[in-house]
Chain A
Amino acid sequence: MSFDVRFYVELCTLLFASVAAILRYKYLDWGGRYLCFWVLASLVTEIVAFYTAHVYKTNSLAYSVFGFVEVVLLCLFFRSVIDVFRRRKALIFVAIAMVILGLLNMLYLQPPKELNTNFIILEGFLIIGFCLFGLFRLLLYDGELDLFRNSNFWSISIVLVYWAADFLNIGLYNMLDRELSEKIGFVRDTIWALTLIVYSALAILFLNYRKLNKGSE
Chain B
Amino acid sequence: MVLQLVIAGTFILTLFALFLIAVLIVHKNKQNKFYAEKAIQNYRHQNQILAVRLEAQEDVMTQISRELHDNISQLLGLTQVNIHLLADKTEEPEAKRLAGTIQGLISQVQSDLQNLSHSLNGTFINNLGLTEALTKEVEYINAARRMKCDLQIDGALPELTPERELLLFRIAQEAVHNALKHSGATELSIYLGSRDNKLHLSIRDNGGGFDTSDSGSSGIGMVNMQQRASSLQGRLLVESAPGRGTSVSVVIEI
Contacts and interface: CB of A to CB of B under 8 A. Distances in A.
Contacts of A135: 20-21, 24
A164 B13 contact: yes
B25 A183 contact: no
Interface stretch (A30-38, A57-65, A82-90, A138-146): A138-146
Given A160-B17, A164-B14, A164-B17, A144 B24 contact: no
B28 interface: yes
The residue in A146, A160, A186 that gathers the most chain B C-beta atoms within 10 A of its C-beta is A160
B85 interface: no
Interface stretch (B1-9, B46-54, B64-72, B110-118): B1-9
A179 interface: yes
Main secondary structure of the interface of B (DSSP, over half): helix
A196 interface: no
Contact of A147 (B18, B28, B36): B28
Contact of A145 (B18, B20, B28): B28
Contacts of B17: 128, 131, 160-161, 164-165
Interface in B7-48: 9-10, 13-14, 16-18, 20-21, 24-25, 27-29, 31-32, 35-36
Contacts of A99: none
Question: Among the interface residues A131, A132, A139, A144, which one has the most CB atoms of the partner chain B within 10 A?
Answer: A144
Interface residues of A, number: 31
Contact of B6 (A153, A160, A161, A176): A176
A167 B13 contact: yes
B13 A187 contact: no
A166 B10 CA distance: 7
B34 to A, nearest CB: 9
Contacts of B36: 144
A101 to B, nearest CB: 23
Given A165-B13, A168-B10, A144 B3 contact: no
A146 B32 contact: yes
A172 interface: yes
B2 A147 contact: no
Given A160-B17, A168-B10, A147 B24 contact: yes
A180 B13 contact: no
Contacts of B16: 164
Interface string A146-181: 111000010001001100111111001001100110
Contacts of A148: 25
Nearest to B27: A139
Given A132-B20, A180-B2, A165 B32 contact: no
A169 B10 contact: yes
A175 B2 contact: yes
Contacts of A167: 10, 13
Interface in B60-100: none
Given A135-B20, A165-B13, 11 more contacts: A135-B24, A139-B28, A145-B32, A148-B25, A157-B21, A161-B14, A161-B21, A168-B6, A168-B10, A175-B2, A176-B6
